[in-house]
């Protein structure tokens, strides 16, 4: 099978994360892209749904709160369930 060099522009962070993921799956970037393209041709389109998530306002608020909590260094965190359970039992 003849191959042809192809260039694409990819966000550096996404490329690094994808490279690590593919490596864990036993693939390199070229193999993963070839697999993706083969699936596109086989299915006659993208091999997954492309859609905008339609989250409810309540879900979006919960996601925003989770982001705020995760970045608030003034809140106490726990590294394991035993420490969390002990803290809950103290109250």
Quick: pLDDT tens for 4-28: 999 999 999 999 999 999 999 999 9
Write the DSSP assignment of 21-76 as a string of letters.
HHHHTT--HHHHHHHHHHHHHHHTS-SS--------HHHHHHHHHHHHHHT-TTS-
The residues of the chain scoring below 70 in pLDDT are: 91
pTM here is 0.57
């Amino acid at each position: 099978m003849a191959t042809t060099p192809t260039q694409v522009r990819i966000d550096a962070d996404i490329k690094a994360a994808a490279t690590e993921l593919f490596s864990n799956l036993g693939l390199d970037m070229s193999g993963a892209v070839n697999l993706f393209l083969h699936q596109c041709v086989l299915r006659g389109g993208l091999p997954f749904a492309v859609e905008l998530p339609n989250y409810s306002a309540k879900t979006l608020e919960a996601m925003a709160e989770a982001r705020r909590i995760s970045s608030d260094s003034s809140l106490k965190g726990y590294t394991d369930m035993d420490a969390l359970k002990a803290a809950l039992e103290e109250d």
